[in-house]
């Protein structure tokens, strides 16, 4: 089939490459010319495991093309997938969906035969109806169906998640659209397709993320409780997770959830709930507590070095989680900003997210070329992202280059016994 994907961000690019890998003929367009030019040369504009080789392979096979023009691409497509960003707009407004609506208007002008328009972006409930209305008003003769197929890709394992979906939620009431969507996903083991109404599909997406964010917040609070009463949150999480109704996933404590999804999806859902008179008190509590946690962690770091004059902090990990270069709403970056605001000297390192972090932290911190340069003369080493390489550092070497031997491990990834052997004091989360 011919697929047009609009938006070459984390979701749109992954979708384009992976649908091409499935054998479809895909054109991905984005208004950022620089991004399209890089992609045409086979240069990935995001860090995503396994995506680079699939990008090059499908460019070479000509199944995948990049462009900036909408007209030609819409006219040749069977399915048009909208994957543009929907950033959070602010307390009462929820998502900024202007990108979705302007793209819908543009698509409408070029629809010359039956089309399926897929909303892949995370949107407010009822958006598919609005997109349908916009297209009808712009081109009353257009023959099309709007379908909701939210993405459930985790950054860092997006390619794996695409080819091994636990479910593909498809919101549509159109038998014609249903057949085309089945054809589009045929190689992905059809049985994973779950058909619902469009609004239920939109709700499944934001409800899933809000629930997962709540689960993360739950274990973070349990970690704080364990610290007070002498429990070990890792043991508690393990024991809880053996109950299939609870499940082992998303029970790792940390500095709080971040990324391009949880923070905005929880706020957008809470905002919509309030607007329709069905407030989500639990989600509102999670949002507020998660934001406070990040501030609280900056305070914890300062209390670890409270007896040291002008402490220097080696801050390892800036991406919102390991496996990605994404620093959107990254707890690590937010904690660094808190420290800088308090006049603390911070030297940062992240294996892949330095470029993105620099757009936020600018010249307010020192950027190290590796963990050891960051630790040089440091009074505390902070671990904020669970990069695997941080688990295997040379503690003998580190013990010789730091100024004080203090560790604050926000992800419980460091081997405490190993650090104690080298005279470090190691603070962890909930244990």
In whole angstroms, the minimum distance from the beta carbon of 263 to ligand UDX comes to 9
Which residue among 261, 327, 329, 347 is the active-site one? Answer: 261
387 binds ligand UDX (CB under 6 A): no
212 binds ligand UDX (CB under 6 A): yes
Q: Which stretch binds ligand UDX (CB under 6 A): 48-56, 83-91, 255-263, 274-282?
A: 255-263
Q: Which is nearer to ligand UDX, 265 or 379 (CB)?
A: 265
Q: Which stretch binds ligand UDX (CB under 6 A): 23-31, 249-257, 285-293, 335-343?
A: 249-257
Q: Which is nearer to ligand UDX, 293 or 312 (CB)?
A: 293
Contacting residues for 83 by C-beta, under 8 A, at least 6 apart: 5, 6, 7, 9, 11, 12, 15, 120, 121, 151
In angstroms, the CA 50 to CA 429 distance is: 32
Planar angle of CA 89, 283, 274, nearest 5 degrees: 60
Q: How many residues bind ligand UDX (CB under 6 A)?
A: 19
Member of 198, 321, 328, 405 binding ligand UDX (CB under 6 A): 321
In angstroms, the CA 184 to CA 264 distance is: 29
259 binds ligand UDX (CB under 6 A): yes
201 binds ligand UDX (CB under 6 A): no
In whole angstroms, the minimum distance from the beta carbon of 201 to ligand UDX comes to 13
The SS3 assignment for 66 reads strand
Distance, first Cα to last Cα, the chain: 53
Residue 81's closest CA among 156, 162, 164? 162
261 in catalytic set:
yes
Decide if 410 contacts 430 (C-beta within 8 A).
no
Member of 257, 280, 349, 387 binding ligand UDX (CB under 6 A): 257
In angstroms, the CA 256 to CA 352 distance is: 20
94 binds ligand UDX (CB under 6 A): no
Residue 170's closest CA among 160, 183, 157? 183
Decide if 76 contacts 110 (C-beta within 8 A).
no
Place of tokens 């757009």: 359
Provide the CA 366 distance to its chain's centre, in angstroms: 26
Member of 4, 180, 216, 226 binding ligand UDX (CB under 6 A): 216
In whole angstroms, the minimum distance from the beta carbon of 255 to ligand UDX comes to 8
In angstroms, the CA 265 to CA 272 distance is: 10
Member of 8, 54, 251, 402 binding ligand UDX (CB under 6 A): 251
In whole angstroms, the minimum distance from the beta carbon of 253 to ligand UDX comes to 7
- Burial category of 224 from C-beta neighbours within 10 Å (exposed 0-12, middle 13-18, buried 19 and up): middle
Q: Which is nearer to ligand UDX, 150 or 311 (CB)?
A: 150
In whole angstroms, the minimum distance from the beta carbon of 340 to ligand UDX comes to 21
Place of tokens 């209305």: 133
315 binds ligand UDX (CB under 6 A): no
In angstroms, the CA 125 to CA 201 distance is: 9
Which residues, 144 to 173, sit near ligand UDX by CB under 6 A? Answer: 151-155
In whole angstroms, the minimum distance from the beta carbon of 332 to ligand UDX comes to 10
Residue 255 carries which DSSP code?
S
Member of 4, 46, 261, 301 binding ligand UDX (CB under 6 A): 261
Query: Nearest 10 degrees: CA dihedral of 208, 214, 217, 222?
Result: -120
Member of 45, 127, 209, 419 binding ligand UDX (CB under 6 A): 209
Member of 47, 95, 320, 387 binding ligand UDX (CB under 6 A): 320
Binding site for ligand UDX (CB under 6 A): 151-155, 209, 212, 216, 250-252, 254, 257-259, 261-262, 320-321
Q: Provide the annotated active-site residues.
A: 261
């Amino acid at each position: 089939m011919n697929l047009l994907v609009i938006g070459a961000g984390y979701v749109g690019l992954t979708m384009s490459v992976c649908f091409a890998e499935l054998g479809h003929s895909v054109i991905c367009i984005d208004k950022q010319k620089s991004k399209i030019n890089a992609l045409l040369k086979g240069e990935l504009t995001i860090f995503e495991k396994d995506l680079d080789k699939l990008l090059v392979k499908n460019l070479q096979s000509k199944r995948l093309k990049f462009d900036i023009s909408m007209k030609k691409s819409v006219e040749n497509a069977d399915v048009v997938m909208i994957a543009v960003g929907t950033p959070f707009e602010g307390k009462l407004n929820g998502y900024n969906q202007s990108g979705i609506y302007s793209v819908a208007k543009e698509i409408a002008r070029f629809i010359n035969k039956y089309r399926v328009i897929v909303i892949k972006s995370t949107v407010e409930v009822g958006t598919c109806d609005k997109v349908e209305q916009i297209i009808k008003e712009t081109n009353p003769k257009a023959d099309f169906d709007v379908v909701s197929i939210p993405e459930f890709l985790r950054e860092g394992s997006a390619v794996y998640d695409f080819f091994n979906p636990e479910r593909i939620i498809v919101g549509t009431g159109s038998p014609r659209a249903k057949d085309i969507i089945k054809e589009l996903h045929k190689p992905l083991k059809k049985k994973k397709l779950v058909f619902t109404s469009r609004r239920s599909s939109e709700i499944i997406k934001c409800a899933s993320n809000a629930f997962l964010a709540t689960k993360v917040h739950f274990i973070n609070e349990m970690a704080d409780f364990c610290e007070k009463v002498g429990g070990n949150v890792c043991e508690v999480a393990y024991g809880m997770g053996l109950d299939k109704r609870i499940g082992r996933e998303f029970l790792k404590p940390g500095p709080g959830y971040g990324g391009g999804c949880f923070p905005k999806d929880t706020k957008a859902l809470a905002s919509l709930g309030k607007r329709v008179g069905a407030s989500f008190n639990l989600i509102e509590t999670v949002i507020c507590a998660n934001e406070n946690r990040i501030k609280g962690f900056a305070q914890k770091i300062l209390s670890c070095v409270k007896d040291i004059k002008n402490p220097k902090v080696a801050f390892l990990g800036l991406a919102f989680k390991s496996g990605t270069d994404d620093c959107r709403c990254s707890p690590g970056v937010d904690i660094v900003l808190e420290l800088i605001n308090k006049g603390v000297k911070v030297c940062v390192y992240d294996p892949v997210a330095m470029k993105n972090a620099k757009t936020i932290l600018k010249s307010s911190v020192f950027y190290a070329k590796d963990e050891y340069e960051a630790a040089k003369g440091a009074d505390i080493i902070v671990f904020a992202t669970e990069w695997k390489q941080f688990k295997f550092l040379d503690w003998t070497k580190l013990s010789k280059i730091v100024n004080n031997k203090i560790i604050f491990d926000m992800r419980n990834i460091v081997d405490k016994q190993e650090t104690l052997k080298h005279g470090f004091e190691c603070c962890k989360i909930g244990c």
